[in-house]
Chains A and B, each alone.
Chain A
Amino acid sequence: MKSALTRSFAIGLLLSAAACAKNEEELPPPPPPQQPTATPTPAPTPTPTPVRDTVVPGSEEDFMRQVGSDRVFFAFDSSSLDAEAQDTLRRQAEWLKQYTNVTVTIEGHADERGTREYNLALGERRANAAATYLQQQGVAPSRISTISYGKERPAVEGSTEAAYAQNRRAVTVLSGAAAS
C-alpha cells in the first residue's frame, strides 16, 4: 500500500516535471539585448511637481530642517563656542524668536576622560555657554533652562577621539513645539 502510494506520487512528480519542461519550451524567445546608444541621453528629470510640505512650522522637525543641528560641540576640557557652534546657535535663536511659545532645555555633556564631578560641572558650564549665547541673540532667559549630565549620557559609545568629539556637546531640547 505504502510503496504503491509512493510510486504513484513519484510518477506524479515526473509528469508535472515533464509538463513544466514542455511549458518552458513554448515560451517566446527573450528579447534581444538592447544596444547601448552612442550618445547617452540624460535621464529625464521629473518635472518638479509641488510636493505638499509635511513639515509643520514650529515643530521639532522644522527646527532641525531650518537650523540644521540641535547641538554644538566643544574642544577637550573647554566650554568655548567656536565659529561653527556660534553659527548653529544663531540659527537656533532665529528659529526660537519665530516660535516664542517654545521653551528649551540645554543639556551639557562631557566625554569620559574626566572625573565624575568635574565633568558634571563642565557639562553645566557648556550648557550655560550655549544658553548665554542664545540669550545674547535675543531669546528670553525665561525660555531657557540648563541641565548637566556630565559624562553620564554619551551620544556615541566607544573610547575613541571620534566618539569623544561627538560627546562633548550641548544639546538644545525643545518643549512646547508644534506636533509634526
Chain B
Amino acid sequence: MSILKSLGACLLALVLGTAAAAQNLSVDINQGVSRPLPIAIPDFATPSSASTPAGDTAALGGDVAEVITNDLESSGLFRPIDPLAFTTDVAMADVTAPSYPNWRTIGAQALVTGFVEAREDGSITVGCYLYDVFSQQALVRQGFNTQPRAWRRAAHKCADAVYSRLTGETGYFDSRIVYVSETGPATARIKRLAIMDQDGANHRFLTNGQNLVLTPRFAPNRDTLTYLSYAQNRPRIYLYDVETGQQRLVGDFPNMSFAPRFSPDGNTLVFSQARAGNTDIYTIDVSSGSVTRLTSAPGIDTAPSYSPDGRRITFESDRGGSQQIYVMNADGSDQRRISFGDGARYGTPVWSPRGDLIAFTKIGGGRFRIGVMRPDGSGERLLTESWADEGPTWSPNGRVIMFFRSRRGGGADLYSIDLTGVNERRVRTPLDGSDPAWSPLRP
C-alpha cells in the first residue's frame, strides 16, 4: 500500500494494489442517457464494526454506497441496479474477490465494492473498488483516509474515481455549489448566500439576509468567494472566506461595481463598473488593489469570464445595439463579437473549465434558454427550453451545467443539465435558489 499524494488536511488517497490497465468497459459520455451503464453498488463492508463520531462503520458502509449511487445516477450515464435485486451481501472478503456470476445474473456490467474501516488515530479509511463484471478485472482500487465527519467526501471521491475510470473524464462529485437562497415576495425578496455539496448535502447559509446579495463565484482555491452585496446600500464587490466567515470590500469605487469573477490563478478579479450610465469591464489585483480598465465602448459591457488559460475573457456588450457575446484578450485588446443568432440577445457567457465551449443565456421568442458555443462563435447548441433559464455555471470537468429557472409569477429553482442536453434535473434547495456557481474539484 503506497501513498499516492496528500489531499489536503482531511483526505488522503491511497492506492490499494494496482488496478488492471487494460479494459473494455467504458461509458460514452456523449451518448447522454440513451444507454446508461447498469452498475451494482452494494453496501460497503467493514472489517470490524466500530463506532465513530459519524456513526458505526457498518452503517457508514451503507451510507457511502448510497452517496455513490446517487452521484453516479445523477450523471445520467449510469443506471444503478436496485439493491433489492442483489442476490448476495458483500462481506469483507468479497470486496477484493467478488463473486462475478452473482452480479452478471442481475445484469450488472460494472460493480463497485468497498469498505469502511475505523483506524486507531480516529480517522477512517474508505476502500473503493470498481470491477468489470464480464472481463472480471479490477479497474479501480483506491482508498481514502478521512476524519469520520468528512465521510461523504470520501464517498464522492470514490464516485469520481468510478466515473473517471469509465468515462475517461475527470469527475465532478467532490465539489460544492454556492448560490443565492431566496424567499419572500418579489417586491421584498430576501436573498442569502448559501453553500452546499454538489449533491445538496451539508447545506449552510453564509449571510443573514439583511443585505441584498447576488452573483457569488468561487476562487480557484475553493474557499474564497467573490460576490455583490448591497451593504450600506452601496452595491460593491466583496470577498468572503468560507472557512472563517470573514468578508472584505474589494476596491474603493465611487460607483456600482459588480459582476465579479476570479482569474484562473486567483490573483485577479475581473468585474464591471458603472459610471454615468456607461458600464465597462475592469480588473483589480486582489492583493495590491491596482485597477486596470479593459473596455471603453459606450454601452453596457458586463458579465466577464476568463478562459481557463487566463489569456482571454468573454463578456457581453450591447455596444452593437443589443446584448451580445464578445471575446477579447485578457489585456482588453482584440474585442470581437461572437454571437449572431437570428435577432436574439445573448448574455451571461461563462467559459468552460475545459476551454472548448462558452455557455450562455439566449433570449428570444419569449424564452430564456441555456446554450453553448465554441469560443469563435461556431457550433451553437441550445440545451434547455423554458420561460426563463439563466446564469449557467460549469461542473469542474466541463460536462454538466447548472443554472436557475425562474417561475412565471415569481420564484426560482436550481437545475442542472449535461452537455448532451437530455439529463435535466432539479437541484433541491431548502428555499428558492438562483445564481449558482460550481466550485472546482476539491483536493
Contact = CB atoms under 8 A, between A and B. Distances in A.
Interface of A: 77, 79, 112-118, 120-122, 124-125, 128-129, 132, 147-149, 152-159
Interface string B176-201: 00000000011111010000000000
B348 A124 contact: no
Contact of B187 (A117, A118, A122, A157): A157
A53 B272 CA distance: 49
A62 to B, nearest CB: 25
A115 B408 contact: no
Contact of B214 (A116, A128, A155): A116
Contacts of B348: 115-117
A148 B278 CA distance: 13
Interface string B397-413: 00000000010111000
Contacts of B220: none
B277 A128 contact: yes
A122 B300 contact: yes
Contacts, number: 100
Interface of B: 185-189, 191, 212, 214-215, 228, 233-235, 255-256, 258-259, 272, 274, 276-279, 300, 302-303, 316, 318, 322-323, 347-348, 361, 363, 368, 388, 390-391, 406, 408-410, 434-435
A117 B274 contact: no
A18 to B, nearest CB: 59
Contacts of B361: 115
A121 B235 contact: no
Contacts of B258: 117, 120
Contact of B277 (A77, A124, A159): A124
Contacts of A153: 187-189
Nearest to B234: A147
Given A128-B276, A148-B274, A153-B188, 5 more contacts: A115-B323, A115-B368, A117-B259, A120-B259, A152-B191
B210 to A, nearest CB: 15
A118 B235 contact: no
B399 to A, nearest CB: 24
29 contacts: A112-B406, A114-B363, A115-B323, A116-B215, A116-B348, A116-B434, A116-B435, A117-B272, A117-B303, A117-B348, A118-B300, A118-B302, A118-B303, A120-B235, A120-B258, A121-B272, A124-B274, A124-B279, A125-B277, A132-B276, A147-B234, A147-B235, A148-B274, A152-B212, A152-B214, A153-B189, A154-B187, A155-B187, A157-B185
A112 B300 contact: no
A125 B390 CA distance: 22
Contact of A118 (B214, B316, B406): B316
Given A147-B233, A148-B256, A116 B185 contact: no
Nearest to B228: A120
A158 B406 CA distance: 12
Given A118-B316, A152-B214, A158 B276 contact: no
A120 B388 contact: no
A89 to B, nearest CB: 15
A156 B410 CA distance: 11
A175 B375 CA distance: 48
Contacts of B191: 152
Nearest to B280: A121
A115 B391 contact: yes
Contacts of B363: 113-115
Contacts of B322: 77
A148 B255 CA distance: 10
A114 B188 CA distance: 19
A69 to B, nearest CB: 18
A155 B187 CA distance: 6
Select the residue from A117, A152, A159 with max chain B CB neighbours within 10 A: A117
B409 A158 contact: yes
B215 A117 contact: yes
A129 B368 CA distance: 28
Contacts of A148: 235, 256, 274
